[in-house]
């Protein structure tokens, strides 16, 4: 099967229009009152690999519904125009796609950080463990 656009093309297109902060910047700013870290990975990844302490888990498949105030699934955590939402996934692919989607929806206070959670762990960023019962 020949696709018009593959995943690499979609991610590259998203990266052209979303704001990406450096991994070092994300680690340095973690814990700031004006930021909400948002983990868009699957819950099984959180259970297996841990997550950034204080991050809000919003699976990529639900985030559009959780962000939209007109949705019955809206989550209050996304109702703050004075916060910057720092999206991340394992390798900054899903977070780029998600950030682009949220930008398309009209959110201007969304960024992602470069290289994703795997790089965060390798760089010594803080990591919390999640047990299956917390999922």
Question: Do the domain assignments include residue 2?
Answer: no
Question: Do the domain assignments include residue 20?
Answer: yes
Question: Do the domain assignments include residue 59?
Answer: yes
> Please, are residues 47 and 121 in contact by the beta-carbon 8 Å criterion?
no
**pTM (two decimals):** 0.93
User: pLDDT tens digits for 62-103?
Assistant: 999 999 999 999 999 999 999 999 999 999 999 999 999 999
Number of domains in the chain: 1
Using CA atoms, how far residue 119 sits from 19, 46, 92, 107, 115, in Å, is 18, 15, 10, 26, 6
Q: Which residues share a beta bridge with 19?
A: 111
User: What pLDDT does 1 receive?
Assistant: 85
pLDDT exceeds 50 at position 135: no
User: pLDDT tens digits for 100-133?
Assistant: 999 999 999 999 999 999 999 999 999 998 754 4
């Amino acid at each position: 099967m020949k696709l018009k656009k593959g995943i690499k093309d979609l991610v590259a297109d998203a990266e052209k229009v979303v704001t990406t902060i450096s991994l070092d910047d994300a680690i340095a700013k973690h814990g700031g009152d004006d930021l909400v870290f948002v983990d868009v990975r699957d819950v099984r990844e959180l259970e297996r690999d841990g997550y950034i302490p204080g991050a809000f888990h919003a699976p990529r498949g639900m985030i559009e519904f959780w962000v939209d105030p007109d949705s019955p699934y809206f989550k209050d955590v996304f109702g703050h125009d004075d916060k910057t939402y720092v999206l991340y996934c394992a390798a900054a692919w899903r977070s780029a796609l998600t950030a682009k989607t949220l930008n398309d929806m009209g959110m201007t206070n969304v960024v992602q950080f470069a290289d994703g959670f795997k790089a965060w762990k390798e760089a010594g960023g803080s990591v919390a463990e999640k047990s299956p019962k917390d999922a």
